[in-house]
Structure 1
């Protein structure tokens, strides 16, 4: 039985796919199964996957006839994964050859449920550091969630993370959403007793116009995206306050802090499409003003911005 299940869901990424697959097959840690879910691709992606599967028996191809979104593919990958640990990679990104060995070493040395490394944002003409740091952090459940909510050492993106597979028992990626990881990863961290992270850059996120989250890099906000985030963060607050009470102050602040930042962005760029959502956020912030202004995590800038609403 191999030790790690690698899950990649691919849809019409032929131009990046060979590079991504080869970055997995060239890993110094070789004891893995590589599950590639072909999510209804209409380009040459399936031909590329078949070519590599013929060359390497560790590859398991899972074809889906119709593209129903990345969450469906990821859930299918989780369903068939057979190893103690899993990692999820994207079909347009690259892993350094030592990534799996590094993550496996962290997980086994510290008996961690989640192990993480750092990464780069690759814009083709330049690379920007993305959660790169030297410190080794060994965190308990509350500390791990605290860092997740702060987003200073890591965020919810599944790549760069090695998960104990049992963390996903009873939890699936939410389907029919724009961004799936914001709905699920906090639940995974809420089940992890030990989280270990060291920001060695061993993964590269390839940035291009067709990224699912390319909207994050722009000044454009759509009501649909904004409302999905607000709904997900409301559910996150309720879930974590109930299941991990020690994180209550941080998670409540994180939800409100996001609203403050989005209100500022809407005003700055005069985004009239989001005016209704803006009014909802302002109303919510005013209703919780007393608690928010006394929250230990609120910044002086946020206090000033809040008073100006």
Structure 2
């Protein structure tokens, strides 16, 4: 039996898929099963998957006839994975050869529920550092959640992380959403007793216009996507406050910090007025709490003062 499972879901990514698959198959640690899911592709992705499955017996190919979004496909991957550890690789990204070996070694050495590495953003062929640091962090549940919410060492993206599969007991990817990881990853961290992170960049996120999260690079977020983020972060604060009460202040600050950042970016967009006014109202109500928060960063302090002084935001 293999020691870990790699899950890759693909949909119409024939231009990126061969490189992504080969980066998994070329790992220095080879004792894994590769759950490859063709999520109803209509280009040549299905044929690419079949080609590699015929060449490498580690690949467990699943063909889904109709694309119902990424979450059902990822949930199928969870059901099909048979090992005690699981990681996810996106079909347009790239793993450095030593990634799985590092993650497995960290998990074994520290008996970690979650192990993770650093990464690059590949933007038009230029590698930009993305969560790179030269130290090993061994964290408990509260510390791990603190770093997740702070987003300086790592974020919620499932790639770069090796999870103990039992963390998913009772947790699945939420269907009928635009971005699934924001609804799930914090729940896994809330169940983990040991998280170990080493910031060597062994994963490349390939950034392009086809990414759902491309708005992070171009600052153009849709109304529906922003609305989903706001609801997800409200649910996250409530969930973590109940399950891990020690992290409640940080969770609420993180929710407000996101609003601060977004308000600064969308204040001139008329189509965002409803959500903008909603966030401004919450920030107004919590202005004193924010300004005195021990988590307040220089950037958030600057944004808070800017919003208060801006005549367009008379409510603050």
TM-score range with shorter-chain normalisation?
over 0.9
In structure 2, list runs of 5 or more residues that go unmatched.
310-315
For 1:46 and 1:292, how far apart are their aligned partners in 2?
A: 50
For 1:171 and 1:62, how far apart are their aligned partners in 2?
A: 21
> Counterparts of 1:152-167 in structure 2 under 5 Å?
152-167=152-167
Aligned residues: 307
SS of the residue corresponding to residue 121 of structure 1 reads strand
242-251 vs 118-127, which moves further = 118-127
For 1:123 and 1:266, how far apart are their aligned partners in 2?
A: 24
Partner of 1:293: 291
Deviations 1:73-127 (A, max 9, x none): 1110001111010000001111111110000000000010000001111123311
SS of the residue corresponding to residue 176 of structure 1 reads coil
For 2:123 and 2:86, how far apart are their aligned partners in 1?
A: 27
CA contact (8 A) 1:221 1:271 kept: no
Deviations 1:182-222 (A, max 9, x none): 01100000000000001101111111111121122112232
Deviations 1:49-75 (A, max 9, x none): 111111111100111101111111111
SS of the residue corresponding to residue 272 of structure 2 reads helix
CA contact (8 A) 2:264 2:307 kept: no
Partner of 1:216: 216
How far does residue 306 in structure 1 lie from its aligned partner after superposition? Answer: 5.0
How far does residue 290 in structure 1 lie from its aligned partner after superposition? Answer: 3.2
Partner of 1:271: 269
Runs (4+) of structure 1 exceeding 6 A deviation are none
How far does residue 289 in structure 1 lie from its aligned partner after superposition? Answer: 2.8
Partner of 1:121: 121
210-219 vs 238-247, which moves further = 210-219
Deviations 1:205-256 (A, max 9, x none): 1111111211221122321111110000000000000000110111110001
- If the length of structure 1 is used for normalisation, what is the TM-score? 0.97
Partner of 2:183: 183
Residue 96 in structure 1 maps to residue 92 in structure 2: no
For 1:136 and 1:284, how far apart are their aligned partners in 2?
A: 37
